[in-house]
Amino acid sequence: MPLYKANAIVLRNWDLGESDRIISLYTMEFGKIRGVAHGVRRLTTKFGSSTLPFTCIKVSFYGNDSHELKTISQTEIVKSCQGIRENLEKILYGSFLIELIEHLIIGTHRDERIFRFILKYLTWLEHETTEIILYSFCFKLLCMLGFRPMLSNCAICHQVVDNYKIWFSWDEGGIICPVCLKERQGVMSVPKEVIELTKRLISERVETLRTYPVSAQLMDEMKGFTLYFLKYYLTFPIKSMGFIEEMM
């Protein structure tokens, strides 16, 4: 079997029997893959802590079919992101990011930009825990995957929408004006501040967003909008959000 090498981020792992572990990875070169690391739970393992979630590694693996379970032969830690695993809040926030990667990125879709983007947010999360990171990650990732919502012009007639209360249509993938609203069902009323904040989440760097003043009420509305938006694309609920809500 051919040997491959890749840059990867560990998403999740499952222990298999007494010493083996299955690892799911997002790789720069092959998209999402799963592999088994043999002997990973032995004290003298060559894998060390490289199979833990959030770790950025260089990985070597065998396997020639894109859907099969690979055999991981070697790993080397590039960035451990240990700071995330040492703090419960960061673990939950990191788990939210990983759930989005697992559910929104389909199959072996690979994109070097997405790999660097995930690594950037994990690095950011190691240093700072602000809720806005979650929503910024979510909307930026959706845009990179081609699901950019229309937030300035009506998704149907393309007129500029500037009302205080804005209507959002998931079927149309954006806001809709009062004229087009009359013919539509399944729309949601969204405060203008939420639409404006979503635009900033998409267009601005995470470093800038951390200092942007957001009231508790607006953050709450932003969360509602994000989760409602995600429901449209996901067939599974985001489990980590439930834990985050319980903790807050």
Secondary structure class of 71 (helix, strand, coil): strand
Residue 157 interacting with Zn ion (CB under 5 A): yes
At closest approach, how far in Å is the CB of 189 from Zn ion?
16
At closest approach, how far in Å is the CB of 82 from Zn ion?
50
Torsion of CA 44, 29, 62, 58, to 10 degrees: -20
Residue 180 interacting with Zn ion (CB under 5 A): yes
Query: What is the number of other CB atoms lying within 10 angstroms of the CB of residue 201?
Result: 23
Residue 104 interacting with Zn ion (CB under 5 A): no
Q: Residue from 9, 92, 114, 154 that binds Zn ion (CB under 5 A)?
A: 154
Only one of the segments 29-37, 70-78, 176-184, 198-206 lies at the binding site for Zn ion (rule: CB under 5 A); that segment is 176-184
CA-to-CA dists, residue 28 to 9, 95, 97, 200, angstroms? 9, 20, 17, 27
Nearer Cβ to Zn ion (97/177): 177
Only one of the segments 42-50, 177-185, 190-198, 228-236 lies at the binding site for Zn ion (rule: CB under 5 A); that segment is 177-185
Positive/negative CA dihedral, 33, 37, 40, 46:
negative
Counting residues that bind Zn ion (by CB under 5 A) gives: 5
Residue 156 interacting with Zn ion (CB under 5 A): yes
At closest approach, how far in Å is the CB of 195 from Zn ion?
15
At closest approach, how far in Å is the CB of 157 from Zn ion?
3
The DSSP H or E segment spanning 72 is strand 70-79
3-state helix, strand, coil in the chain (%, to 5): 40, 25, 35
User: Which amino acid, residue 220?
Assistant: D
Q: Residue from 177, 194, 206, 230 that binds Zn ion (CB under 5 A)?
A: 177
Residue 69 interacting with Zn ion (CB under 5 A): no
Beta pairing class for 20-27 and 3-16: antiparallel
Nearer Cβ to Zn ion (154/206): 154
Question: What are the residues binding Zn ion (CB under 5 A)?
Answer: 154, 156-157, 177, 180
